[in-house]
């Protein structure tokens, strides 16, 4: 835990996920949908530490992963961020953050020699962090992707197509891993971007097996046994579950499978008393229309920024 003090805000760094959760608990509990990414990633890291494993050691990043609590002048935690993404350029992810605190974070990382290659999360703080970093290193913000966080408080589940919904098993691990990769590449294509296989969530067969054993990966199986769709529905953190990724191979699209599966998983979550959310790429009108039709409503716009020195 390393405090870094600014005129109006104190930046408190943590290398322990549990220590961070202890510090940011009130903030994450007060804004559980906004904080769903940070809460779920950090909770997974806590479980990993408890199991005696360390997936971060396999990342070979040039820095130790960290979490950050931003405290105001009264000592209250008013924002949070983390740098735990296991893929280049190892971007941060931040909750809504005061611009002054975002600039202070850019300075703090620069002073300790940690090059920040990307800044994701809520606007405008994530963009301020990226641009302040670029100014410090004499670089520029060269790419960004606009995303949107949605929440469903009710859902209209469409009619079920032919087939059945089932949880993925360990025998499905290779397929799930391949579809995780395809999801990110095809999402770029659908949004009109050049596919970047190095972007997005980094997965291995081991990380996929962890998710399968947690029971969070779901498949749609056609009557002939063909697997036609994958959707994730994460373990709840602070009472919130996040849907994703949602992937249907091209040859199985247009049958309403994705709409039904997301709707059904959302219905199950809501009936269990869990708040349900998901992210969309704002450049993909199809997914935005589908989720709005199910009953999801926008919560906040976010963005992904890349900083090139």
What is the per-residue pLDDT across 287-305, written as a single tens digit (0 to 9) for each? Answer: 899 999 999 999 999 999 9
DSSP code of residue 193: P
Q: What residues does each domain of the chain span?
A: 2-138, 164-301
Could you give the CA distance from residue 295 to residue 297 in angstroms, rounded to a whole number?
6
- Assigned superfamily of 164-301: Gcn5-related N-acetyltransferase (GNAT) (3.40.630.30)
CA terminus-to-terminus distance, the chain: 28
Q: What pLDDT shows up at residue 165?
A: 98
Q: Give the pLDDT band of residue 188 (cuts 50, 70, 90).
A: low
CA distance 117 to 192: 23
Give the whole-angstrom CA distance, residue 163 versus residue 196.
Answer: 33
Which pLDDT score is estimated for 63?
A: 95
pLDDT of 197: 57
* Average model confidence (pLDDT) across the chain: 93
> Does the pLDDT at position 6 exceed 50?
no
192 confidence band (pLDDT: 50, 70, 90): low
Lowest-pLDDT range, 53-57, 84-88, 194-198? 194-198
Alpha carbons 162 and 112: distance in angstroms, whole number: 56
Residue among 40, 25, 120 at smallest CA distance from 76: 25
Count of alpha carbons within 13 Å of 77, Cβ hemisphere only?
Answer: 22
Burial 137-172 (b: 16+ CB within 10 A, else e): eebebeebbebbbbbbeebebeeebebebeebeeeb
List phi, psi (to 5°) of 29.
-70, -30
- pLDDT for the residue 198: 56
pLDDT tens sequence across 16-34: 999 999 999 999 999 999 9
Say which residue the tokens 């091209």 belong to: 250
Q: E strand or H helix at 152, and its extent? A: strand 140-152
Which residue's entry shows tokens 């620069």? 110
């Amino acid at each position: 835990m390393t405090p870094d003090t600014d005129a109006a805000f104190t930046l408190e760094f943590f290398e322990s996920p549990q220590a961070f959760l202890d510090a940011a608990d009130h903030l994450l509990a007060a804004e559980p949908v906004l904080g769903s990414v940070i809460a779920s990633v950090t909770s997974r890291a806590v479980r990993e530490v408890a199991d005696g494993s360390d997936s971060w050691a396999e990342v070979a990043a040039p820095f130790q992963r960290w979490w950050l609590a931003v405290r105001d002048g009264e000592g209250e935690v008013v924002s949070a961020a983390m740098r735990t993404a296991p893929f280049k350029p190892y971007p941060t992810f931040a909750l809504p953050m005061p611009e002054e605190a975002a600039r202070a974070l850019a300075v703090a990382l620069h002073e300790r020699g940690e090059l920040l290659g990307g800044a994701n999360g809520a606007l405008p703080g994530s963009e301020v962090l990226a641009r302040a970093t670029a100014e410090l290193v004499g670089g520029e913000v060269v790419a960004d992707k606009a995303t949107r966080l949605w929440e469903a408080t009710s859902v209209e589940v469409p009619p079920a197509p032919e087939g059945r919904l089932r949880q993925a098993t360990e025998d499905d691990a290779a397929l799930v891993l391949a579809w995780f990769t395809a999801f990110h590449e095809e999402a770029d294509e659908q949004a009109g971007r050049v596919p970047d296989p190095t972007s997005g969530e980094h997965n291995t067969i081991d990380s996929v097996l962890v998710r399968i054993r947690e029971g969070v990966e779901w498949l749609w199986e056609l009557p002939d046994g063909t697997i036609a769709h994958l959707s994730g529905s994460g373990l709840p953190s602070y009472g919130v579950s996040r849907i994703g990724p949602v992937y249907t191979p091209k040859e199985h699209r247009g049958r309403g499978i994705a709409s039904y599966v997301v709707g059904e998983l959302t219905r199950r979550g809501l009936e269990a008393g869990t708040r349900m959310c998901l992210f969309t790429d704002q450049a993909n009108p199809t997914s935005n229309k589908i989720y709005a039709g199910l009953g999801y409503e926008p919560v906040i716009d976010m963005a992904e920024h890349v900083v090139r020195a």
